[in-house]
């Protein structure tokens, strides 16, 4: 279609030409004035920046020489940055910086060129002091002065833009040394011999600790489009971080790490960053994680990160890949008006063997070689509002579909269905071999154990043992609540099934890997019915620690009461159940005459009433056998005098012990006696109080303790 011709009067064309001409002349005049005054303006800007750095951060910045080199390029020499009363942070011999003119007209400073020749960044940590703590000073000032509401999405958007704007189109960097000195015990030197950006292509060479290794950070940068693709690797070897090993006793290495940012833009009120992160042959070794190397062959996460006005989240559209297995995580941390923690994991129905093969090497050593068939699906939901921790939500489910074990691996999980040898450990050392079978005179079949003990222990340790499948979600949920309130780990969520697996199949090392392995083995046993509940309970009763070098109900009933497990009374059963969490202090619960100390009576009444309500024992107003529990006469001479006070907190406790009274908000001991920070034991003195005793009393206690240890050995 032909557009109609528009006729513009010549006088309007002339007027427009005059206006445009005048505008161009003004720009030229102003530009000329600015150009002639630019050196003076530069000095003013530098002086203003130096003053602001001193006022806001306590930084002494010196620039030996500065001047323009071309239309928009500034050249500086002999730059130094020294925090007040701290070691020099940075020095630069020669620096050239060029900015883009067009964005500058709109107030945006975008770098066109950076050339750096010989510089040093020196981070020093001395005890609690560091030459980086000027940053904290500024943060405190900002927090005090800024009363306006903070929008995290705006902060993320602005910070990312500032970072991207500082990535130049062209860069040439030579001999930039980064040093880290941490209390003279852990040191790190990184010398960037060359680093260039040419048309968005990044190339770098970094020497680690004087030619100990050579690192490279290479990739493609497109800051204008908010995109980058960067890979980190080393020449002819793995990337290793010796600083972590020296400082944290942690070993970390990998072949390559790749980071990709695909986009960064607003999505409604939230700022969304989309990208991916991947690693190959990641090796982790730390005594709290595992006793051996954990190796992740190939891992990747496609991530969508959301930053809202008051939260940071990893969206559920993200996917974590481990070999051929995949899981969708959702993590959200809300800062205001109060802190909220959310975690969701979802794994679609997928091949069970693929999931098993995806686990990192060294994580589940006992299951090496295990072959399965079928499919599994996993879901986890965790929600904690810090303002109302008691309302915490938790559920976790691993659902099998036609799941079956085809071949055992390194460990046969059905070995305890027959006679086997059990070796208990204390402080990482084996105690002795115990035969769990008829060849052991102390071995007691389940049918020959008094129901008084069975009922008391199940009531206190694991009331739903016969109905759950290895885990009690409500118990785990309440453990999270209590631990969060106390701000430390004070309660676990273990069931008898978990205790059995931990003691029979796994080492006693308290690591994250061992705990994860324990959970998986319990699931395999319980969901595949590899061991009957009766057999599990029978083995548990015969291996459980019940005193110093006393294992199993057979040894315990004869040691304390001189009778067989079948003849235990209700009071004796409640007592033996009571000592399971802390078996080494069992003897301290008796008076010198062999009776139980008075502070035990509330426990007996509480336990007895619960058992009576459940029809496990007759109602008893006298204390459910408390007054009839008597230590066998042969042991009474080793009891401490009633006047002796002992700090039982000094005895080792096992944080993995089963949860007491899983239908209560606190463990049974805390509920009855209200343990506080100042009084960690009931009616017993602290170490400080014990020190105040007379020398005569202390010597007598030591003698009695040695006699007691000799008897129990």
Q: Summarize pLDDT for 415-439 with one digit per residue, the tens.
A: 999 999 999 988 778 899 999 999 9
On the question of a cis peptide bond just before residue 359, with omega within 30 degrees of 0, the verdict is no
Band of the pLDDT at 614, cuts 50, 70, 90? very high
The H or E element containing residue 166 is: none
**Partners of 67 in beta bridges:** 75
Closest CA to 571 of 543, 549, 594, 542: 594
Q: What is the pLDDT of residue 107?
A: 52
| Residue 704 pLDDT greater than 70, yes or no | no
366: pLDDT strictly greater than 50? yes
How confident is the model over 619-626, as a mean pLDDT? 93
Largest CA distance in the chain: 125
* pLDDT tens profile 135-175: 766 555 555 555 456 889 999 998 898 888 888 888 999 99
Sketch out the chain's domains with CATH numbers.
Answer: 412-637+657-671 (1.10.3810.10)
Other C-beta atoms closer than 10 Å to the C-beta of 690 total 17
pLDDT at 7 over 80: no
Q: How far apart are CA 482 and CA 493, in angstroms?
A: 11
What's the pLDDT band for 672 if we cut at 50, 70, 90? very low
pLDDT, tens only, 370-398: 999 999 999 999 999 999 999 999 999 99
Angle at 147 between CA 145 and CA 153, to 5 degrees: 110
Residue 241 has a CB neighbour count (10 Å cut-off) of 16
The predicted pLDDT at position 108 comes to 58
* Burial zone of 53 (CB within 10 Å; 0-12 exposed, 13-18 middle, 19+ buried): middle
pLDDT at 686 over 80: no
- DSSP-based three-state secondary structure for 653: coil
Q: Indicate the pLDDT class of residue 695, thresholds 50, 70 and 90.
A: very low
Statement: residue 197 has pLDDT above 60: yes
Give the whole-number percent of the chain exceeding pLDDT 90. 55
Give the residue, 258 or 99, on which the prediction is more confident.
258
CB atoms within 10 A of CB 352: 22
Q: Please tell me whether residue 611 adopts helix, strand or coil conformation.
A: helix
| 265 contacts: CB under 8 Å, gap ≥ 6 | 226, 271, 272
Query: Average model confidence (pLDDT) for the chain?
Result: 83
Residue whose C-alpha is closest to residue 313's, from 337, 333, 343: 333
Rounded Cα gap, residues 130 and 435, in angstroms: 58
The beta strands (E) that lie in 100-167 are given as 111-126, 129-130
Q: Assess contact for 523 and 470: CB atoms under 8 A.
A: yes
CB atoms within 10 A of CB 338: 10
Q: What angle do CA 589, 592, 595 make, to 5 degrees?
A: 60
Residue 57 binned pLDDT confidence (cut-offs 50, 70, 90): confident
pLDDT of 309 over the 70 cut: yes
Name the one residue in this structure whose structure tokens are 């940075």.
Answer: 90
Structure letter (DSSP) for residue 707: H
CA pair distance 501, 414, nearest whole angstrom: 11
Higher-scoring residue by pLDDT: 188, 613:
613
Report pLDDT digits (tens) over 104-114: 554 556 678 89
């Amino acid at each position: 279609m032909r557009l109609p011709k528009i006729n513009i009067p010549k006088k309007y064309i002339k007027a427009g030409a005059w206006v445009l001409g005048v505008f161009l002349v003004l720009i030229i005049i102003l530009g000329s004035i600015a150009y002639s005054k630019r050196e003076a303006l530069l000095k003013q800007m530098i002086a203003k920046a130096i003053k602001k750095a001193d006022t806001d951060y306590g930084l002494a910045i010196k620039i030996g020489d500065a001047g323009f080199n071309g239309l928009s390029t500034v050249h500086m020499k002999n730059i130094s940055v020294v925090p007040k009363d701290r070691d020099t942070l940075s020095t630069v011999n020669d620096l050239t910086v060029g900015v883009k003119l067009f964005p500058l007209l709109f107030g945006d400073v975008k770098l066109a060129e950076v050339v750096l020749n010989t510089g040093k960044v020196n981070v020093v940590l001395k005890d609690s002091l560091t030459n980086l703590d000027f940053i904290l000073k500024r943060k405190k000032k900002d927090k005090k002065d800024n009363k306006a509401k903070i929008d995290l999405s705006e902060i993320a958007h602005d910070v990312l833009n500032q970072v991207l704007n500082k990535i130049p189109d062209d860069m040439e960097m030579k001999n930039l040394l980064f040093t880290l000195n941490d209390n003279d015990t852990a040191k790190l030197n990184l010398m960037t011999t060359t680093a260039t950006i040419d048309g968005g292509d990044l190339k770098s060479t970094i020497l680690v600790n004087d030619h100990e290794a050579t690192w490279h950070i290479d990739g493609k940068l497109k800051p204008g489009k908010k995109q980058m693709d960067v890979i980190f690797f080393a020449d002819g070897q793995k990337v290793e971080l010796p600083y972590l090993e020296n400082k944290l006793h942690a070993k970390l290495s990998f072949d390559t790490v790749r980071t990709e940012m695909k986009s960064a833009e607003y999505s409604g009120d939230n700022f969304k960053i989309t990208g991916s992160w991947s690693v190959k042959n990641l090796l982790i070794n730390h005594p709290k994680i595992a006793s051996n190397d954990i190796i992740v062959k190939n891992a990747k996460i496609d991530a969508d990160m959301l930053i809202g006005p008051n939260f940071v989240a990893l969206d559920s559209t993200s996917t974590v890949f481990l070999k051929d297995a995949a899981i969708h995580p959702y993590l959200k941390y809300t800062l205001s008006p109060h802190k909220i923690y959310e975690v969701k994991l979802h794994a679609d129905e997928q091949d069970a063997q693929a999931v098993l093969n995806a686990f990192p090497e060294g994580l589940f050593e006992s299951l090496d070689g295990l072959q399965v068939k079928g499919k599994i699906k996993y879901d986890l939901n965790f929600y904690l509002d810090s303002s109302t921790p008691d309302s915490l939500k938790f559920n976790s489910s691993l659902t099998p579909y036609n799941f079956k074990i085809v071949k055992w691996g390194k460990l046969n999980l059905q070995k305890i269905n027959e006679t086997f040898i059990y070796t208990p450990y204390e402080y990482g050392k084996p105690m002795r071999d115990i035969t769990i079978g008829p060849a052991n005179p102390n071995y007691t079949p389940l049918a020959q154990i008094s129901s008084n003990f069975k009922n008391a222990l199940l009531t206190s340790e694991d009331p739903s043992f016969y109905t759950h499948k290895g885990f009690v979600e409500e118990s785990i949920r309440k453990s999270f609540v209590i631990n969060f309130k106390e701000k430390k780990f004070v309660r676990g969520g273990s069931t008898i099934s978990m205790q059995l697996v931990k003691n029979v199949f796994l080492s006693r090392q308290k690591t994250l890997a061992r705990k994860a392995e324990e959970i998986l083995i319990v699931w395999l046993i319980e969901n595949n019915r590899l061991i009957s509940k009766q057999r599990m309970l029978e083995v548990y009763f015969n291996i459980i620690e019940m005193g110093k070098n006393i294992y199993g109900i057979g040894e315990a009933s004869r040691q304390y009461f001189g009778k067989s497990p079948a003849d235990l009374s209700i009071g004796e059963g409640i007592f033996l159940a009571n000592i399971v969490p802390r078996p080494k202090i069992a003897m301290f619960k008796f008076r010198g005459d062999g009776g139980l100390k008075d502070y035990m009576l509330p426990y007996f009444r509480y336990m007895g009433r619960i058992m009576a309500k459940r029809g496990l024992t007759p109602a008893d107003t006298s204390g459910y056998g408390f007054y009839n529990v008597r230590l066998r006469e042969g042991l009474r001479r080793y009891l401490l005098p009633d006047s002796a006070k002992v700090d039982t907190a000094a005895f080792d406790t096992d944080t993995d012990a089963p949860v007491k009274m899983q239908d209560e908000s606190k463990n049974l001991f805390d509920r009855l006696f209200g343990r506080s920070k100042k009084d960690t034991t009931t009616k017993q003195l602290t170490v400080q109080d014990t020190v105040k005793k007379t020398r005569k009393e202390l010597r007598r206690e030591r003698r009695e303790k040695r006699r007691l240890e000799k008897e129990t050995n």
